[in-house]
A and B are shown apart, each in its own frame.
Chain A
Amino acid sequence: MKLGDLTELAARNLREAILRNSLTTIGISVGVASLVALLSLGVGLQELVNRNIGRAGLFNTVAVRPRQNTPFGQGGGGGRRNAADAADLLPPRVLDDAARREIAALPNVLEVNPEVRFTAEARIEPRSRLTLVAGMAASSESSGTLEGMVGKFFSGPNVQEAILQGNLAMRLLDDGKAPESLVGQQITLRFAQRQAVPQATAQAQPGDVPNGASPDEEALGFSIIPGEKQFRIVGVIPAPDSGGGGGGFNNAGIYLPLAVAQDLEVVQGQDLREVMRTGSGQGRRYAALNVVAGSPAAVGEIESAVGRMGFAAFSLIDVTRNLRTFFAIFDLFLGIFGSLALAVASLGIINTLVMAILERRREIGVLKALGAADRDVRHLFFAEAGVMGLVGGVFGVLLGWAIGRAIQFGTGVYLKRQGLTAPNIWSVPWWLVAGAVVFAILVSLASGIYPASRAARLDPVEALRYE
């Protein structure tokens, strides 16, 4: 018999015992709903974590530092090391322009940006606050780092513009004013500026001081002077605890265009460490470089290559890999618990179909007498099980979706009462919808194996005699 005829007959048979079949189908729906509700929460939580990490732009970023400067352990090498890498490791190197060019030439490296971070005093009259200022590369505009930002990104790479973190904006404002009201206003930054000291000439006598620099400053190659500059606020990022962007370990109170931040020649902690290490602060050296990879898959290779160059490299790939493993196991357990209800529902399908065989024994005999093969009878019962699975699966997904929404809503209400903003902890991706329906059909078909085989094996002569 053709599939269309089988499905039509199956639907007709199901309609004839509508109450019993509806109850069985509801059982499947409940099973699928529990599966969808639990997995949607698991997926939602995973997406929440991934979103927060991804927002920091670290999935495809490798942080490179001189090996001595690694914050992840003294004398550390690359973030990801093995015996082969260790054999290739070179002595520690200075992170300078030559190293930057070398790293930029590596395969799958999109860009290499210096990390510029310093402490400054931010002033919007009459208030001022100490805050961390960071340079931001143009590529950050599309990385998700600025999700939820009010205003716009920098209009160019060398403009005197700033983007403020919501928390800092609130601290610079009078109570009750919205942080967004700062967009368009000027902010003044005061910071410690590094000023180069010209080299002493051959005619200079010992004790002469060029440009008024002290002998110590001359030896260092730079002096430290107070610097001040005004910037126009073009954007405000929502505070991290409101679920907006700007989170992650690159978090800062104020972001400036990277080139502008670099040109400020602000004294950073790295300068002082270099002086202590080499006795001189001359020449451009970087505290750290942020390497942006073409894709997260290329991060491991870049880390290894950077390690072989003699630098310390670190990425969040390892951390997220463990996170993914955790969520895979978490989802597996949720799936198993969710499937328990579906397993119980499958017993209902078996019961319903076995009852149907008893009731329709004579009908099966007639079908066989008219030429239906065992296969046709088997397929008919499979089709009935499949239709129940399909209908139960579709309604189950809808029910699971509703349960997930209810949990999301309830969680939101609870968190708001606690004074917190509710993140989205619930997600029903298309694969979960399709997978749940297909799973329901498969479970139903599996449940139909025994009844269908039993119906197919019926002796037509016996079946026709059945009253």
Chain B
Amino acid sequence: MNVTETHSNSNGFAVRAVSVSRHYKMGDAVIRAVNEISLEIRTGEFIALLGASGSGKSTLLNLIAGLDRPTAGAILAQGRDLATLSSEELADHRNHTIGIVFQSFQLLPRMSVEENVELPLRIAEVPRGERPALVRDALERVGLGGRTKHRPMEISGGEQQRAAIARALVNRPMILLADEPTGNLDTKTGDEIMTLIGEIHHPASGSGRTIIMVTHERALAEKYADRIVTLSDGSIAKEERLR
């Protein structure tokens, strides 16, 4: 299927998955990690992808992130079909259009918190002079203004995840992807992180962001998401609109 949209003709959708599949071959067997999923996510929507392990939610998130390519179908993000983009264009999509937060934070241990947050700016070739202010803004927004010089190992898990969120937001992407952002945190810290993500979705001032979060905690999804999409065996089992 060949689906194209322009930026100006994204019809208010931040992301559209059109009959998208991601199959893997393991020997003679074909693993259908994602199988003909169609999903429309509106700009500014907070959607939670819910499902058991192996249901395909992380694979779908990777496809939306442009970290992986579909075997069939199309993923349209901000009007562009990711399946047709070159690897350079996909890299640009990951750098400018989306920000990713991982379950295990994925901060580079040899760099300080501020250096980790600065990385997307280096990649985006933002002039050196502009970077400190952007890094400071992002870190203050997640409440880490005072721990910029520490290395990841020197701060708590919650703080590491805050730093990872700051890194995901520093380039001001339209879409924030979160892959089990509270999975490695205790309940209290997880709540704090979810509150932060909620604030990013609905900030006190300015426009919010589209958020796509993978989680297996239904309670969190119900508390923060506008819509819950439950996946099972690579397909959408259920969709629930909450708000």
Interface flags, A367-378, vs B, CB<8A=1, else 0? 111111111100
Known: A2-B125, A460-B67, A461-B67. A373 touches B106 (CB 8 A): no
Cβ of A175 within 8 Å of any chain B Cβ, yes or no, is no
Cβ of A12 within 8 Å of any chain B Cβ, yes or no, is yes
Q: Which of B105-147 contact A (CB under 8 A)?
A: 106, 108, 110-111, 119-120, 122-125, 128
| Chain A nearest CB, measured from B166 CB (Å) | 12
Contact A373 B110 (CB under 8 A): no
- Residue among B91, B111, B167 having the largest count of chain A Cβ atoms under 10 Å: B91
Cα–Cα, bound, A371→B106 (Å): 14
* Cβ-closest chain A residue relative to B92: A371
Q: Which of A1-24 contact B (CB under 8 A)?
A: 1-2, 4-5, 9, 12, 16
Instruction: From the candidates A2, A371, A375, A460, name the one contacting B120 in the complex (CB within 8 A).
Output: A371
Cβ of B162 within 8 Å of any chain A Cβ, yes or no, is no
- Residue among B92, B94, B128 having the largest count of chain A Cβ atoms under 10 Å: B94
Contact A371 B67 (CB under 8 A): no
Cα–Cα, bound, A4→B91 (Å): 20
Cβ of B28 within 8 Å of any chain A Cβ, yes or no, is no
- Residue among B106, B108, B122, B128 having the largest count of chain A Cβ atoms under 10 Å: B122
* Cβ-closest chain A residue relative to B125: A2
Cβ of A464 within 8 Å of any chain B Cβ, yes or no, is yes
Cα–Cα, bound, A367→B110 (Å): 14
Cα–Cα, bound, A461→B88 (Å): 16
Instruction: From the candidates A4, A363, A376, A464, name the one contacting B123 in the complex (CB within 8 A).
Output: A376
Interface range on chain B: under 10, 10 to 19, 20 to 34, or 35 or more?
20 to 34
* Residues of chain A lying within 8 A (CB to CB) of residue B119: 367, 370
* Cβ-closest chain A residue relative to B107: A366
| Chain A nearest CB, measured from B138 CB (Å) | 13
Cβ of A362 within 8 Å of any chain B Cβ, yes or no, is yes
| Chain A nearest CB, measured from B88 CB (Å) | 5
Q: State the main secondary structure of chain B at its contact with A.
A: helix
Contact A370 B67 (CB under 8 A): no
* Residues of chain B lying within 8 A (CB to CB) of residue A460: 67
Q: Which of B47-99 contact A (CB under 8 A)?
A: 62, 65, 67-68, 87-88, 91-96
Instruction: From the candidates B106, B108, B122, B167, name the one contacting A464 in the complex (CB within 8 A).
Output: B106
Cα–Cα, bound, A460→B62 (Å): 10
- Residue among B67, B93, B100, B125 having the largest count of chain A Cβ atoms under 10 Å: B67
Cβ of B46 within 8 Å of any chain A Cβ, yes or no, is no
Contact B110 A16 (CB under 8 A): yes
Known: A1-B125, A461-B62. A370 touches B88 (CB 8 A): no
* Residues of chain A lying within 8 A (CB to CB) of residue B102: 369, 464
Instruction: From the candidates A5, A365, A368, name the one contacting B91 in the complex (CB within 8 A).
Output: A368
Cα–Cα, bound, A58→B38 (Å): 89
* Cβ-closest chain B residue relative to A8: B122
* Residues of chain A lying within 8 A (CB to CB) of residue B65: 369
Cα–Cα, bound, A375→B95 (Å): 14
Q: Which of B198-239 contact A (CB under 8 A)?
A: none
Contact B106 A362 (CB under 8 A): yes
| Chain B nearest CB, measured from A8 CB (Å) | 9
Cα–Cα, bound, A146→B95 (Å): 72
* Residues of chain B lying within 8 A (CB to CB) of residue A461: 62, 67-68
Contact B108 A374 (CB under 8 A): no
Contact A373 B120 (CB under 8 A): no
Q: Which 7 A-B pairs have the closest CB atoms?
A: A371-B95, A373-B91, A371-B94, A5-B122, A371-B123, A370-B120, A460-B67
